[in-house]
Each structure stands twice: as structure tokens, then as C-alpha cells.
Amino acid sequence: MSSTDTERAEHLQVLGLSTDEIRVYQHLLRAGPSSVTELDQAVPDQAAGIESTLGGLVHAGLARRSGTDHSRFLPVPPDAGLEALTLRRESELKQARIEVLNAYDEFRRTVHNESTTHLIEVVSGTAIVERINQIKGSAQREILAIDSPPYYLGAGPNQMEIEQLNRAVAYRVVYSPESVEVPGYLTENILPCVEAGEQARVLPDVPAKLTIIDGSIAFVSMSVRDTDVNRSLLIIRPSSLLTALIGMFELCWRNALPLHASVGAEDDRLEPIERRLLALLATGAADDTIARTLGISRRTFFRYLERLMNRTGASTRFQLALHAARENWL
């Protein structure tokens, strides 16, 4: 599989396609109209079988039977299908948020029982920073995080994460648009960590501020959208609530848009500032924030945006984002 296929597969996986559906769809994009037999031979070892895989692609609005030969399938313009997949993911994310809230309510009703008091710890005041450093410093395998202000440890460089990445602790982080809007946070914290190996994505609306260490302990608090002053932290140990939080993170991860370290890399098709602008648009940052981060005026920002939309034939920012994803500009 080429690097282009691999990157496209990541985007399709975010939209909820299975591995087999992605492989068959990639083959249709390369080979054009193909019969069921040809597809079965070209994409072997499918878990669900070629008929089921094609049925999934047809249901997703990405493929259809040929009008002249019903035994053959071909890819179709994906606009309607992609929007349906996006709406489905948004619905799943809302449902996951409800499930987490219900799980927490159930926990709160039983928190005074002796058998459950050890599952949650409430930390406040100056002890918060100490407990965060203690827990994060113990990571051995992986840290999962949904990142949003306010920041207990400040918004500057994250030396602890870079050191952990260097000793093979994996990081997957979903950022909120508010994270990018904190002055200097993108350039001083996010991008250096991505360049060091962090896998980063951006989601327009995050449900909570969350960090999960090695799948065995988590700390969670309200995001900046819920409170302007956040002085308490919940530490969650193995329980149904922790399982629900891990599931919520994975759903957010699948719905989020990848943020790569190469946002400033050279590309024959784009100027470096255009790649940075597209990456910032993908975060959901406000126009003023993007212009300030790029060091340009609002007028210049809109001139670059208009030029990109004219070049791609996009009439909306959503269409521009889809085109940028298909062309691997992000």
C-alpha cells in the first residue's frame, strides 16, 4: 500500500469504514468498475466476505452497481455519503456522552458505599499539579488525552511528554479548538509534541477534559466550555466508569481530524502558509485566531481562503476540508 493509500485509509477509518471496506474501496478507486469475483480476488482474506463488504460501501454511499452491468461495482461521488457518515458519527458521539454521564450518575449514587469509595479521588487546590505529575510520570505504555483549557501545568512546552515519547510511551491526543486558540499553545506545545511522535487529532466539540494512563487510571475535569475556573480534579481507578471513559475517548478519536507535524512542509501544490492555514481551519479555530497565529491580517487571511476555495472549486469550508483531506494536504 502506498503512502497516499495509507493516509487516505486513516481518513476513511475516522468515518467508520471497516478495514475490508477501505481495502475494497481503495481498489475500486484504482481499478474502476470491477466484478464481485475480481474484487474478491484482488482483495483476499476478507473477514466478512466480499458481498457483505460491498453492501457496506453501498450503504455508506461510496459505491454502486454499474448501470450497464449489474454484476460490476464502481465508486460514486462521495459528497452525500460522507455527510451521512459524519452525521452518524456525531450521533454516536452524543450517545457516548450520555452513557458516560449515566455511568457517573450511577457511581455518584453509590459513592458512599464502602466498596466503591476507593474508585474515585477528588483533588483540589495546589495538590492538583503534584498528582498530575505523579500519575503521568508513572506511564509505561500509552497516554490517551482529550485536551482542553484550562491548564493546570501551564500552556508552554511539555517537556515531560517529549521525554516519555523518547522512551517509547505512546501518546494519542484529541485537541479542542480552544486549545489552539490559547496564544502560543499550537507552536510551543502541540507541534513540538507531534514532531516528537505524538498522534494528534482535533475535534470541534470535546465532551470533557480527560487523561487516561495505561488504560488503568484516569483524571477528568470540566473543559473550559463548562467552567471558567476549574479547581478540582477527579481521579478514576478501574471501574465501569473508567471503561466508559476509555470508550468515549476512542469514539472522539475516530471522529476527530488528524493533525500532522508537516503542516509547514513544502508542497508543490501549496505555499507553506496555505498548508498552515488549512491545518488551522481543520482545528475549528476562529478566523481571528488563525490570522493572529499566521501573523497576517484578516484581509490577507480571507484572500488566501478565497484563493484556496477557487482553486478547489469548493463553495463551503466543509467542501474545502474534504478536498484537502482527499489530496493529503492535511
pLDDT at residue 326, as a whole number:
66
d(CA 316, CA 199): 28
Q: In terms of residues, how long is the chain?
A: 330
Range of lowest pLDDT (41-45, 161-165, 184-188, 284-288): 284-288
As given in the structure block, the three cell numbers for residue 306 are 478565497
pLDDT at residue 161, as a whole number:
92
pLDDT at residue 7, as a whole number:
73
- Omega of the bond leading into 238 within 30 degrees of 0 (cis): no
Please name the amino acid found at residue 234: L
- For residues 47 and 21, is the Cβ–Cβ distance under 8 A? no
Q: How far is CA 129 from CA 82, 151, 193, 219, 226, in A?
A: 42, 10, 20, 12, 20
- For residues 193 and 162, is the Cβ–Cβ distance under 8 A? yes
As given in the structure block, the three cell numbers for residue 105 are 450518575
Q: How far is CA 326 from CA 29, 72, 307, 330, in A?
A: 12, 25, 18, 9
DSSP state of 105: H
pTM greater than 0.85: no
Question: 3 or 250: whose pLDDT is higher?
Answer: 250
- Going along the chain from its start, the domains and CATH numbers come out as 1-115 (1.10.10.10), 120-258 (3.30.870.10), 272-327 (1.10.10.10)
Express each pLDDT in 181-201 by its tens digit: 788 888 888 888 988 999 988
pLDDT at residue 154, as a whole number:
63
Using the predicted structure, report yes or no on whether residue 32 has a pLDDT greater than 50.
yes
Q: pLDDT band at residue 83, thresholds of 50, 70 and 90?
A: confident
Say if residue 235 is exposed, middle or buried (CB neighbours under 10 Å; 0-12, 13-18, 19+). middle
Using the predicted structure, report yes or no on whether residue 325 has a pLDDT greater than 90.
no
pLDDT above 70 coverage of the chain, percent: 83
pLDDT at residue 110, as a whole number:
64
